[in-house]
Structure 1
Amino acid sequence: MDWLIWVGAGALLVVAEMFSLDLVLLMLAGGAFAGAITAALTDNLVIEAVVALVVAMGLLAVVRPSLLGRLHTGPELMLGTRKLIGQHTVTPVRISAHEPGQIKIDGELWSAVPYDDSLVIEAGSAVEVFEIRGATAYVHPLPEIE
């Protein structure tokens, strides 16, 4: 019957974890469930408590830090013009250092010039945005597969 008490304690800790969201009570619930498994195998309350305590401390020391690390880090947020770098688009007009043109990036029109001043990019060419300076996109043609 001890295993039922351990399962009940573990279930209560899981429900309480839903309100705290610290992952501490979840690790303690893991210890309680380990105590329930031990209680199903033995009738010694001391052994059950020791197993529950050891498993809970192990989970707190090993599993919780890595889970928190994964939850608190995410992909780098790209804002402003940084998110446009690396975008691919097509030039509707011929672009050179002496003939700036316009391209559409993410639905917005941008002035565009080649990143390399010696290049001439023909109309209809696929380009990649290398840099944004002010309101001008510096682009480079993408290699064509023939």
Structure 2
Amino acid sequence: MAWLWWLGAALVLGVVEMLTVDLIFLMFAGGALAAMLVSLLGAPFWVQIIVFAGVSAALLFVVRPWAKKLLDRSTPDTATNIAAHVGREATVLIDVTEHAGRVKLAGEVWTARAAQRGAVLPAGTTVRVVRIDGATAVVDAVEDRSYLP
């Protein structure tokens, strides 16, 4: 009957892994499945615990690094939230100085300030977001590209 507890533990650990996607709880779930198998074979509880610990440790230190590399290689690194705005172009709505201003960035109006001291970016200028400080976009002028074909 102990095998049902190991199966339940493996299922719970599998669900936790789906929420974290770090491949740690999946390795423990594998250990729980191995302990379930030895439980079905009639091994005493202390052997089940040793099998659980041993298989979990082996999976953590042998399989997880390989699987993590494979997962990282196949998962694109996508910038989200404010990090996604860095590098984007915006249009100045109200003159931007080193202290204040407004820009239209990705369809939204943002408070902005110039990245360079003493710079004044007039309304209508296209700027590039250098970084985001809190709720303020720090911008710099986009070099003139009118000479390009």
Q: TM-score, normalised by structure 1?
A: 0.50
Larger Rg: 1
